């Protein structure tokens, strides 16, 4: 990374003038973010955080950063790109301290700007450094932004991220004898929406989770310290033993005194069901339920709800693998790998030419012709959002000699956008809405989607069967992207949310 970084105060930033970032027009739902934190005196906390972020790379492939504190100051190193593109041995060696937080990001609030890369950094009026990372989306962002602007903490003319607003408000209240803990206890009850936070003053590691627990956040134990992370897989990677989940509505502080916990709100579980379906790594555990086991069980239930006459069950790798295994086991139809995924295709700074762009899905997936030629395929995928990927995939499979292509989806049709940390399309861009017009008949919706993507048959698991597979109470899950019921409400000042609100009112009138 030589030549890109400059020192600004206590923070090492990458050059904000860079513009060589692009999302390559991806059509999949974008995961939200991943957060990680470690308090471990005597350990290489920057390297632990680096490997923790590696485990959480799937949660955000747009940007990443690490903040390390040594009790005197905090140093932040961050940039656009993948974790492996941003950090090297020399940058990690420069990050020395006892406490660290890290973040991997996809933009949801604030957009794809270098200024919004996390962790955020502020210095409080009493000179305390504060760094903060955030996973989720706030529904009262406008209120918090306006408060921060009124207090002169951010430029009211600049559209910044929700994370920038809460970092500014948190740091500003660390003054007149108030600690970071005091400021957090006062601020968190006023923060509404989905949030998992890790933050530090360079001495203590803090973590907090919204009262509904929309996104996962866990606590782990090292031999000489503690770890907090978005998913249990990150604990495994750094050798931390799982202790428990951070409870919804809980604020945790970790330092030489141990782990202290403060309740800032009552728990009202509304965990995101899409974590089980798509977002979380299969080797993670959420509320005691293995994500991999959940996806296999969804596949079993999908096979019972929508059987198909096929020769082989193949997944769309990687996220479709467990459900395809479950479908094959339940149906008795052989499981096979009919598609090869290029493991190195992710976000890249290299723009494909128009010729390569037209190849579309072939940049990521390629068929094994000897496996699929002449076969009736049952293709299992985790979800359909816009339908572009499935349409291109089915065309590719037919060109490779597939006799029939029967598509089975391990989640119901996505009909509504997410305002709690996943960057879905607007309602009109979702294929479940775009292809059906005003026709609300479920069978007509499925048939329209089947025709649009070119499958011989199509089946989606039902909401009820999907919920049963998670082994969680139905009233403790958020399923808004499938059923339009937003348990935390809709965000302020968001045109897409206003559109959804009007659509829901018209639907219920």
CA 229 to each of CA 59, 199, 224, 351, 388: distance values in angstroms, whole numbers, following the listed order:
12, 12, 17, 33, 33
Quote the CA–CA distance of 291 and 297 in Å, as a whole number.
10
Quote the CA–CA distance of 175 and 353 in Å, as a whole number.
54
Quote the CA–CA distance of 451 and 404 in Å, as a whole number.
14
- Encoding tokens for residue 314? 């193949």
Write out the catalytic residue numbers. Answer: 33
Residue 23 annotated as binding site: no
- Encoding tokens for residue 23? 């999302």
Residue 201 annotated as binding site: no
- Encoding tokens for residue 197? 């936070």
Lookup result for tokens 């009790």: 71
Quote the CA–CA distance of 384 and 449 in Å, as a whole number.
9
Q: 240 with 222: CB under 8 angstroms?
A: yes
Q: What would the DSSP string read from start to end of 36-87?
A: EEEE-TTS-HHHHHHHHHHHTGGG--SEEEEEEE-SS-EEEEEEES-HHHH-
Determine the 3-state secondary structure of 464 from DSSP. Answer: helix
Residue 381 β-bridge partners = 409
Chain centre distance of CA 290: 17
Helical spans, DSSP H, in 133-269: 141-150, 162-172, 180-187, 232-238
Quote the CA–CA distance of 453 and 384 in Å, as a whole number.
10
Residue 381 annotated as binding site: yes
Q: What would the DSSP string read from start to end of 322-379?
A: HHHHHHHHHH-PPB---EEE-TT-SS-SSPPPHHHHHHGGGGTEEE-HHHHTT-EEEE
Residue 18 β-bridge partners = none
Quote the CA–CA distance of 116 and 217 in Å, as a whole number.
22
Q: Sign of the CA dihedral 9, 88, 25, 214?
A: negative
Quote the CA–CA distance of 299 and 307 in Å, as a whole number.
11
Helix (H) or strand (E) holding 447, with range, is helix 442-453
- Encoding tokens for residue 183? 């400021």
Quote the CA–CA distance of 230 and 57 in Å, as a whole number.
11
Residues annotated within a binding site for Mg(2+):
319, 381-382
Residues annotated within a binding site for [4Fe-4S] cluster:
272, 418, 478, 481
Residues annotated within a binding site:
272, 319, 381-382, 418, 478, 481
């Amino acid at each position: 990374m030589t030549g890109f970084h400059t020192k600004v105060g206590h923070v090492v930033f990458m050059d904000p003038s860079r513009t060589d970032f692009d999302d390559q027009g991806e059509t999949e739902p974008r995961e939200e973010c991943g957060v990680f934190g470690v308090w471990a005196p005597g350990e290489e906390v920057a390297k632990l955080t680096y490997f923790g972020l590696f485990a959480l790379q799937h949660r955000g492939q747009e940007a990443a950063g690490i903040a390390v504190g040594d009790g005197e100051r905090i140093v932040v190193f961050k940039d656009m790109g993948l974790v492996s593109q941003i950090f090297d041995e020399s940058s990690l060696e420069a990050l020395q301290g006892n406490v660290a937080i890290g973040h991997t990001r996809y933009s949801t609030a604030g957009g794809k700007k270098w200024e919004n890369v996390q962790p955020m950094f502020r210095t409080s009026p009493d000179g305390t450094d504060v760094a903060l990372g955030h996973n989720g989306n706030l529904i009262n962002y406008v209120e918090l932004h306006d408060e921060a602007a009124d207090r002169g903490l951010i430029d009211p003319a600049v559209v910044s991220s929700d994370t920038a607003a809460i970092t500014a408000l948190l740091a500003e209240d660390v003054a007149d004898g108030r600690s970071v803990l005091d400021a957090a206890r006062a601020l968190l009850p006023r923060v509404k929406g989905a949030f998992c936070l890790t933050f530090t003053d360079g001495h203590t590691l803090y973590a907090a989770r919204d009262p509904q627990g929309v996104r996962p956040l866990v606590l782990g134990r090292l031999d000489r310290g503690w770890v907090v992370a978005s998913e249990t897989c990150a604990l495994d990677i750094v050798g931390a033993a799982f202790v428990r989940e951070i409870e919804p509505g809980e604020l945790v502080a970790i330092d030489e005194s141990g782990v202290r916990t403060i309740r800032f709100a009552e728990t009202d579980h509304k965990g995101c069901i899409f974590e089980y379906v798509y977002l979380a790594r299969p080797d993670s555990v959420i509320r005691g339920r293995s994500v991999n086991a959940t996806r296999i069980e969804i596949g079993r239930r999908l096979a019972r709800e929508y059987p198909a006459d096929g020769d082989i069950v193949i997944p769309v790798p990687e996220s479709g693998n467990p459900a395809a295994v479950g479908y094959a086991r339940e149906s008795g139809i052989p499981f096979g790998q009919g598609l090869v995924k290029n493991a190195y295709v992710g976000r890249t700074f290299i723009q494909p030419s128009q010729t390569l762009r037209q190849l579309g899905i072939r940049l990521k997936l390629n068929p094994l012709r000897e496996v699929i030629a002449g076969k009736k395929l049952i293709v299992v995928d985790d979800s359909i959002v816009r339908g572009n990927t499935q349409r291109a995939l089915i065309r590719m499979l037919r060109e490779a000699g597939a006799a029939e292509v029967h598509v089975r989806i391990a989640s119901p049709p996505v009909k509504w956008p997410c305002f709690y940390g996943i960057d879905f399309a607007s309602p009109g861009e979702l294929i479940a809405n775009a292809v059906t017009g005003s026709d609300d008949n479920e069978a007509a919706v499925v048939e329209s989607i089947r025709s649009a993507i070119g499958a011989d048959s199509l089946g989606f698991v039902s909401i009820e069967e999907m919920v049963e597979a998670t082994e969680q109470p139905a009233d403790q899950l958020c399923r808004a992207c499938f059923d339009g019921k937003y348990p935390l409400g809709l965000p302020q000042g968001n045109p897409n949310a206003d559109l959804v609100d009007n659509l829901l009112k018209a639907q219920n009138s």
